[in-house]
A and B are shown apart, each in its own frame.
Chain A
Amino acid sequence: MYVAVKGGEAAIDAAHAWLADARRGDAAVPELTTAQIEQQMTLAVDRVMAEGSCYDRGLAALALKQARGDGIEAAFLLRAYRTTLTRFGHAAPLDTAAMGITRRISATYKELPGGQVLGPTFDYTHRLLDFALAAEGVTRDAVPERAADEAAIPRVSELLAREGLMQREEAAEAEPSDLTREPLAFPADRSARLQNLARGDEGFLLGLGYSTQRGYGNAHPFVGEIRQGGVMVEFTPPELGFAIEIGEIDVTECQMVNQFHGSLTEPPQFTRGYGLVFGSGERKAMAMALVDRALRAAELGEDITAPAQDAEFVLYHSDNVEATGFVEHLKLPHYVDFQSELENIRAMRRNAV
């Protein structure tokens, strides 16, 4: 006699207990603190803040711990928390020209005002596993002192724009789009596109950006400038009517300089691809800048031939919390639909015989 299996409720409870146990691992190994994650897994924390769309290192570290180190799961946790917070308004545009620089490089000029600052980069490390790190109690080398720059360091894009060689971006009067309040609609304006990309999955943008370099989209990019460091966030509370500083955040900004051949009405000039990411997210900022420029194809009158230029394709598939949910929902029960397919296929096979 067939008896239907029950007990989903108990199974869920058991799975959650098991998950907590697996998260902790071997009890003989000391438990990781969120402070350790925040201080020593900084780039993972930065990525979770960027894709979780919430600037809070402590919460991002907690999310990483809770998610057993899974970055997308951690971003999801942070997003779900963020969505319950009150929205007060939007900040003034960040003044990245006034950034407290920790890294700044330009590929377009050998020397330039403010100089090149390598900062804490992997760029010229030899990727040899450092077994000394596996031992405990490694001594720290002193970091060489760097002369503090007093003056703001001008942005490369500004140097070009003063000469009329770089298309100027006009400051929009309209309130920027906010995809967390209003759904994406097409044609999507630049502010919606940039917000989407800034929250987007690093791997997805990296692949797309890469594709533009390999001929899928007509890209001729130069890194005008990458800069990292702290910037002040200003906000104008309606009851005050003037801007106040509400804190400082670390960001990475990338400005890609791209050729533009001009049109009948506009002379040839350079155009900008822009990337901005929370924390130290250089790879993501660069990929974002490539994709941003590719998505400007329509407004610049370029042919849309490649995936990275297709706004619907890029913007609907960049969000890893959406993507992982929908891909993973396939493991939910689908047996009702499958049953329909079974009956249909059996009937069609009978017809075919």
Chain B
Amino acid sequence: MNALLEAQGLSLRFGRVRALDDVAIAIWPGEVLAVVGESGSGKSTLLRVLSGQQRPEAGIIRFDGTDIHEAGEAALRRLSRTDWGFVHQNPRDGLRMAISAGGNIGERLMSNGARHYGDIRAQAKDWLARVEIDPARIDELPRNFSGGMQQRLQIARTLVTRPRLVFMDEPTGGLDVSVQAKLLDMLRALARDLSLAIIIVTHDIAAARLLAHRIVVMRHGQVVEEGLTDRVLDDPQHPYTQLLVSSVLAA
């Protein structure tokens, strides 16, 4: 089997700071990959670079074997609204707050050519139910929703076109602990049912353990350790990973 997304030699500097230092990473279809590390480790930059929002200074990113920057911006945008999805930490960055829940979900369908109002609406209702929002609230604005609901709406909006790969940037970051657990359960079920590949950036080791098949640990822009989730968390090799894991256990 070939990797779905594969990157090699990614480097990017901000002034004197090396945000990415010769990073290589790959994800296979249906796999959930967690990128963990502290703030400033370069994990969010890695996500932006992998999803084509920022160009690296060096390195190559292939999706389905094709260099994502080679075909130009139009092709990249098309990829972002079809095969890819992006879930922001703050749902306000991923939703249109002045547009109804149904419009938010429908936008991606319409961007991909859907022209039947009734069908768009039916799919929006279906997705609201899947993310446990009452479909009767389809015409409400996201600002009337709680933070957890907004995040679930963002996920529905992203998944409605059945992307093959979803990038997630601390999706549970701004939520209460009880809400976090519910969201993680939902994400795990969706990933399994839809055979989604997910690259999730998080500093939450527990979330990584629950969701991810594999873990990549980043520090100072470098990948310091990677492996199957249980192996990395139960038998960390790199001193930095040991520190990360022990700090969670201690907490």
Judged by CB atoms under 8 Å, the answer to whether A and B touch is yes
Return chain A residues, CB-CB under 8 Å to B16.
Answer: 264
The complex places the Cα of A245 from the Cα of B14 at a distance, in Å, of 48
A263 to B, closest residue via Cβ: B15
B56: min CB distance to chain A, Å: 19
B174: min CB distance to chain A, Å: 21
A side interface size, CB within 8 A: 3
**Docked complex: B1-35 residues within 8 A CB-CB of A:** 14-17
**Docked complex: A258-275 residues within 8 A CB-CB of B:** 263-265
Return chain A residues, CB-CB under 8 Å to B15.
Answer: 263-265
A30: min CB distance to chain B, Å: 60
The complex places the Cα of A264 from the Cα of B14 at a distance, in Å, of 9
The complex places the Cα of A213 from the Cα of B121 at a distance, in Å, of 49
The complex places the Cα of A264 from the Cα of B16 at a distance, in Å, of 7
Return chain A residues, CB-CB under 8 Å to B14.
Answer: 264
B16: min CB distance to chain A, Å: 5
For chain A, what secondary structure do more than half of its interface residues adopt (helix, strand, loop), or is it mixed? loop
A276: min CB distance to chain B, Å: 34
Give a binary string over A93-104; 1 marks a CB under 8 Å from any B CB, 0 the rest: 000000000000
The complex places the Cα of A265 from the Cα of B17 at a distance, in Å, of 11
B88: min CB distance to chain A, Å: 19
A265 to B, closest residue via Cβ: B15
Give a binary string over A261-301; 1 marks a CB under 8 Å from any B CB, 0 the rest: 00111000000000000000000000000000000000000
A301 to B, closest residue via Cβ: B15
B14: min CB distance to chain A, Å: 7
Return chain B residues, CB-CB under 8 Å to A265.
Answer: 15
**Docked complex: A219-277 residues within 8 A CB-CB of B:** 263-265
Most A Cβ at <10 Å: residue of B14, B15, B17: B15
A248: min CB distance to chain B, Å: 47
The complex places the Cα of A12 from the Cα of B242 at a distance, in Å, of 86
The complex places the Cα of A265 from the Cα of B15 at a distance, in Å, of 7
Give a binary string over B172-214; 1 marks a CB under 8 Å from any A CB, 0 the rest: 0000000000000000000000000000000000000000000
B17 to A, closest residue via Cβ: A264
**Docked complex: B51-97 residues within 8 A CB-CB of A:** none
B18: min CB distance to chain A, Å: 12
The complex places the Cα of A265 from the Cα of B16 at a distance, in Å, of 8
Return chain B residues, CB-CB under 8 Å to A264.
Answer: 14-17
B14 to A, closest residue via Cβ: A264
A299: min CB distance to chain B, Å: 16
B15 to A, closest residue via Cβ: A264
A300: min CB distance to chain B, Å: 14
The complex places the Cα of A264 from the Cα of B13 at a distance, in Å, of 11
The complex places the Cα of A263 from the Cα of B14 at a distance, in Å, of 11
B220: min CB distance to chain A, Å: 16
The complex places the Cα of A206 from the Cα of B136 at a distance, in Å, of 50
A266 to B, closest residue via Cβ: B15
B221: min CB distance to chain A, Å: 15
The complex places the Cα of A263 from the Cα of B16 at a distance, in Å, of 10
The complex places the Cα of A263 from the Cα of B17 at a distance, in Å, of 12
Return chain B residues, CB-CB under 8 Å to A263.
Answer: 15
B19: min CB distance to chain A, Å: 12
**Docked complex: A158-194 residues within 8 A CB-CB of B:** none
A267: min CB distance to chain B, Å: 13
B139: min CB distance to chain A, Å: 15
The complex places the Cα of A89 from the Cα of B72 at a distance, in Å, of 39
B179: min CB distance to chain A, Å: 30
A295: min CB distance to chain B, Å: 23
A264 to B, closest residue via Cβ: B15
The complex places the Cα of A265 from the Cα of B14 at a distance, in Å, of 10
A240: min CB distance to chain B, Å: 47
A78: min CB distance to chain B, Å: 42
B16 to A, closest residue via Cβ: A264
Return chain A residues, CB-CB under 8 Å to B17.
Answer: 264
B1: min CB distance to chain A, Å: 43
**Docked complex: A90-141 residues within 8 A CB-CB of B:** none
B205: min CB distance to chain A, Å: 31
The complex places the Cα of A322 from the Cα of B241 at a distance, in Å, of 62
B66: min CB distance to chain A, Å: 31
The complex places the Cα of A138 from the Cα of B14 at a distance, in Å, of 68
Instruction: List residues of B whose CB falls within 8 A of some A CB.
Output: 14-17
Interface pairs A-B: 6 shortest CB-CB? A264-B15, A264-B16, A265-B15, A263-B15, A264-B14, A264-B17
> What are 6 A-to-B residue pairs whose CB atoms are below 8 Å?
A263-B15, A264-B14, A264-B15, A264-B16, A264-B17, A265-B15
Instruction: List residues of A whose CB falls within 8 A of some B CB.
Output: 263-265
